[in-house]
Amino acid sequence: MKNEMIFESGGKQIDLTKLTRLYPAVLVHAGGESASVSLEWAQMKADQISVEAYLLVCDFDPLGEVPINRIELRYQTQEELFQAMEEIAGRIRH
């Protein structure tokens, strides 16, 4: 069913059938700047940064192209991010 492939979070709708890339990231604040970094990097530098949000980055452009059509879903905790990832994985597998 088509609706099973629509993931909703934070008021945004993601059509999972059109995803080309999906990955977690962390929005951090360090040295007066904000940047998106990998979860691994954020964990390694946890004592030097402050986490603003956990992100699930959804790209819709063909692989190999610069991602222009991107939606970032924001979560307050890493656990919320992982729950969203698990839900999406369950839908994609079916």
User: Which residues pair with residue 29 across a beta bridge?
Assistant: 34, 50
With a cut of 90, say whether residue 51 has pLDDT above it.
Answer: yes
With a cut of 70, say whether residue 12 has pLDDT above it.
Answer: yes
Task: Give me the mean pLDDT over the 10-26 stretch.
Answer: 92
75 contacts 55 by C-beta, under 8 angstroms? yes
Q: Burial level of 88, CB count in 10 A (0-12/13-18/19+)?
A: buried
State the total domains in the chain: 1
pLDDT band at 3 (very low <50, low <70, confident <90, very high): confident
Contacts of 91 (CB under 8 A, 6+ apart): 4, 5, 7, 16
Distance, in Å, from the CA atom of 42 to the CA atom of 66, rounded to the nearest integer, reads 24
Which residue range forms the structural domain that includes residue 43? 2-93
The whole-number pLDDT of residue 94 equals 63
% of residues, the chain, pLDDT over 70: 97
90 contacts 74 by C-beta, under 8 angstroms? no
User: pTM score, two decimals?
Assistant: 0.84
Place of tokens 């994609």: 92
Task: Give me the mean pLDDT over the 7-26 stretch.
Answer: 92
User: Which residues pair with residue 37 across a beta bridge?
Assistant: 26
Query: Which tens digit of pLDDT belongs to each residue from 55-79?
Result: 999 999 998 888 899 999 999 999 9
